[in-house]
Structure 1
Amino acid sequence: MPRSLIVKLGAIGDVIMTLPAAFALHESGHEIHWICGRGVLPILELYPWVHPIPVDERALLQSSLIQRLQTMIGLWRKLGLSHYDTIATIYYDRRYQTLTLPVRARRKILLRQGDRALDLLPNRHHTDEYARLLVGEDAGPVPDSLAPIFPANLPPSPLPPPQRMRIVLAPAGAKNLLRDDALRRWPAESYVSLAGIALEAGYEVVLAGGPDDVWIRPYFEHLPVIDLIAQLSLPQLLALFDASAAVVTHDTGPLHLAGITKTRLLGIFGPISPWERLPRRPGTAAIWGGEGFACRPCYVAGNFAACTNNLCIQQVTPAMAFQQLQVLLEGEPASPFVVVPQPPPGAFV
């Protein structure tokens, strides 16, 4: 049986968007091994066809030189003198290739800017781009986009069944070990206003997020929301989303986690095109702020423009978000859709 090795430590969204391509390889007869960070390991463990090889990404990326070398050598010992049909290092940085230095492979893939075959092409969904890189284009054009891969088993929801319709907000996020991408975050004040509108309309509102998201708690102290930030494992977070009516968030890990559940999902975008990131399954939608902004989108190959004020995503108001949330809750669109709000008359963009 041919074997493929994927090198993608994180982040959550990138790992989830790589899963459909990995599954396509698996369906074609490949055994899938995956070098991953400990942070995303609980996600990959939900897919029995993936053989994860965890590495301490914090020690690898943020520790002293000696600790980095020790972590690298520990990984090499796990890999041994393995042989793979394909090694796909889903990074532009060549240094990530050192993770598989002792491993032999017939084909090695590394992202490379300016090379059409190895670059992530703009305005195409990253799921399809990862599939193009991993599976190849030998079969010719692929008319159908790849859908998210749902996990096999989820734990019970951490909350009892709601008495009212439950809405989950993931208002922080957009932060990982290496940086904080605040430009793609919808303002905390907008989430607070949306929570207030939803509560007044009779919904139950739950806050969700990871340990790095506790900074946002004080914004909601005056509202009767259920705060589960930093209290759930990733499988429990998936179970919460799966048992809720809808999730609202921006382009961050919870967006992609919600995409592999059956909840309705509303994503709020600005500097990044939703056509590249929004999970493509029934019941998902996005609002893309910044119509008329010549600089939108400004995210290319992992980098944003030198911007200090994300007016594009601020163009999305809480009232707009609640209106589209109701559209989702009243039905289940067969395919994702994107709403582009018009700027107010006379606005300078």
Structure 2
Amino acid sequence: MVRKTALIVKFGQIGDVIMAIPAAYALHERGFEIDWVCGRSVLPLLACYSWIRPILADDRAIFRGSTLKRVRAIAALWGAIARKRYDLCATLYYDRRYHLLTLPVRARSKRMLSRQSRETTLLPGRHHSDEFVRFVLEREDGCQEGSATPVCPDRLPPSPLTPKTAPRRIAIVPGAASNLLHRQVLGMEPESLRRWPVESYRVLAQRLVDRGWEVVLLGGPDESWVKPHFLGIAMTDCIGKLTLPEVVSVCGTCDAVVSNDTGPLHLAGLSETPLVGIFGPTDPSTRIPRRALSVGIWGGQGFACRPCYDGANFAPCQFNGCMHQVTPSRVLRELDRLLDASSRGLPNSWRIAFPDEN
């Protein structure tokens, strides 16, 4: 039996790639073989899915290289994707420049995000995973019960952490809050407006340690700047030491994860570990992993400017008061609720919480 084939074009950032995986999985369940054009940053994660064939593109050269490097990188990508005929080529971007990358692709159907029609637009206020599924399956925009859940990799590496000895192991992500593609490829500044203040993370970490719990610091190599903020607190430092698949594995060994809206939030969402996400400039209903034991606290209650992210840029805010509105006590309260529900085996669907809730 000849299987259908699909080509997905989505380089990264990490969160967007993870939210697009359910769409690829929906195609896979319908008998499609999945090829995925990706950048180097997310390649190790996509390689953990046995049903995805990652095709590496040199995104740094394509977006920041000299004219010669750009031409060579695009030509190399063309050579990798032009030899195979596809039933569907789905480019999960609005920018028409991405159309150039799939010019030689032979496909019965080529689809690219576009704001010219409702069918090809990610509708605001809806979770990105659901919208990616609707887009690739060409579903009518009708009533859809349920939401797309994160799809866990089926061949993760073991966690590099030793078995826990403390009553609880809680992972926190104090530094990460930037678009990896913008920072590493386009050379833009981190989107720090969606970062919960590191001082708040320190207060939370100290309270957890005071309970006799283990606290694990997660983050990439560029987040080493947060380490001095935690001096004097006994913690397990994993910043810059883990691959993306290892982050998922480590989250799986933890009792809970606390993160703002960033890549590790979505990596943690691939595990079954209770997850507290902290949001402000972005709407958590469009991003929080829609699975059990997952809650997004949305700061900025009563702010006229919330959310300020329009899908491409943040407002020129000098002080992200929405994130400051979420207190360590509020986070700890949600954390305890999730841990209690998890330990008692209680049903606990994803939800959005607010700073002034009890």
Short-chain TM bin? over 0.9
After superposition, the CA RMSD in angstroms is: 1.5
Measured against aligned partners, the alpha-carbon deviations of 1:131-175 in whole angstroms (never above 9, x if no partner) come to: 011112159532121111111122221111111110001111122
User: Which letter does structure 2 place at the counterpart of 1:327?
Assistant: R
Taking the aligned partners of 2:229 and 2:148, their CA distance within structure 1 comes to 38
Taking the aligned partners of 2:90 and 2:176, their CA distance within structure 1 comes to 27
| 3-state SS, counterpart of residue 87 of structure 2 | strand
Taking the aligned partners of 1:342 and 1:240, their CA distance within structure 2 comes to 32
Q: Which residue of 2 aligns with 1:347?
A: none
Contact kept in structure 2, 1:87 and 1:105, CA below 8 Å: yes
Match of 2:61 among 59, 62, 65: 59
How big is the shift at 1:177?
3.2
Taking the aligned partners of 1:56 and 1:140, their CA distance within structure 2 comes to 38
Q: Which residue of 1 aligns with 2:208?
A: 198
Q: Is residue 2:47 matched to residue 1:45?
A: yes
Q: Is residue 2:107 matched to residue 1:93?
A: no
How big is the shift at 1:56?
2.0
Taking the aligned partners of 1:96 and 1:300, their CA distance within structure 2 comes to 20
User: Which letter does structure 2 place at the counterpart of 1:166?
Assistant: R
Q: Which residue of 2 aligns with 1:273?
A: 283
Taking the aligned partners of 2:198 and 2:141, their CA distance within structure 1 comes to 46
User: Which letter does structure 1 place at the counterpart of 2:225?
Assistant: W
Taking the aligned partners of 1:269 and 1:250, their CA distance within structure 2 comes to 6
Taking the aligned partners of 1:67 and 1:259, their CA distance within structure 2 comes to 36
Q: Which residue of 2 aligns with 1:335?
A: 349
Taking the aligned partners of 1:269 and 1:136, their CA distance within structure 2 comes to 30
Match of 1:285 among 279, 287, 295: 295
Greater displacement, 248-257 / 233-242:
233-242
- Correspondences of 1:203-218 after superposition (within 5 Å): 203-218=213-228
| 3-state SS, counterpart of residue 20 of structure 2 | helix
Measured against aligned partners, the alpha-carbon deviations of 1:73-123 in whole angstroms (never above 9, x if no partner) come to: 111111134322211111111111111111122222222235311111111
TM-score, normalised relative to structure 2: 0.92
Q: Which residue of 1 aligns with 2:172?
A: 169
Contact kept in structure 1, 2:119 and 2:141, CA below 8 Å: no
TM-score, normalised relative to structure 1: 0.95
**Matched residues, number:** 343
Measured against aligned partners, the alpha-carbon deviations of 1:177-210 in whole angstroms (never above 9, x if no partner) come to: 3141111111111111111111112210010111
Taking the aligned partners of 2:155 and 2:107, their CA distance within structure 1 comes to 33
Distance verdict in 2 for CA 1:111–1:158, change over 3 Å: same
Contact kept in structure 2, 1:76 and 1:100, CA below 8 Å: yes
Taking the aligned partners of 1:256 and 1:68, their CA distance within structure 2 comes to 30
Contact kept in structure 2, 1:81 and 1:102, CA below 8 Å: no
Identical amino acids, percent of aligned pairs? 48
| 3-state SS, counterpart of residue 177 of structure 1 | helix
Measured against aligned partners, the alpha-carbon deviations of 1:250-302 in whole angstroms (never above 9, x if no partner) come to: 01000000001111110000011111000011111111101100111111222
Contact kept in structure 1, 2:158 and 2:249, CA below 8 Å: yes
User: Which letter does structure 1 place at the counterpart of 2:135?
Assistant: L
How big is the shift at 1:312?
0.7
Q: Is residue 2:17 matched to residue 1:15?
A: yes
How big is the shift at 1:62?
2.1
Taking the aligned partners of 2:311 and 2:112, their CA distance within structure 1 comes to 13
Taking the aligned partners of 1:140 and 1:290, their CA distance within structure 2 comes to 32
Contact kept in structure 1, 2:12 and 2:181, CA below 8 Å: no
| 3-state SS, counterpart of residue 303 of structure 1 | coil
Contact kept in structure 1, 2:341 and 2:348, CA below 8 Å: no
Q: Which runs of 5+ in 2 are unaligned?
A: 183-187
Q: Which residue of 1 aligns with 2:185?
A: none
User: Which letter does structure 2 place at the counterpart of 1:329?
Assistant: L
Match of 2:255 among 245, 257, 261: 245
Match of 1:122 among 114, 121, 124: 124
Distance verdict in 2 for CA 1:228–1:137, change over 3 Å: same
| 3-state SS, counterpart of residue 118 of structure 2 | coil
Measured against aligned partners, the alpha-carbon deviations of 1:300-340 in whole angstroms (never above 9, x if no partner) come to: 22222222211111100111111111111111343112111
| 3-state SS, counterpart of residue 109 of structure 1 | strand
User: Which letter does structure 1 place at the counterpart of 2:39?
Assistant: G
Taking the aligned partners of 2:141 and 2:201, their CA distance within structure 1 comes to 45
Q: Which residue of 2 aligns with 1:346?
A: none
Q: Which runs of 5+ in 1 are unaligned?
A: 344-349
Contact kept in structure 1, 2:50 and 2:155, CA below 8 Å: no
User: Which letter does structure 1 place at the counterpart of 2:291?
Assistant: R
Taking the aligned partners of 1:114 and 1:249, their CA distance within structure 2 comes to 35
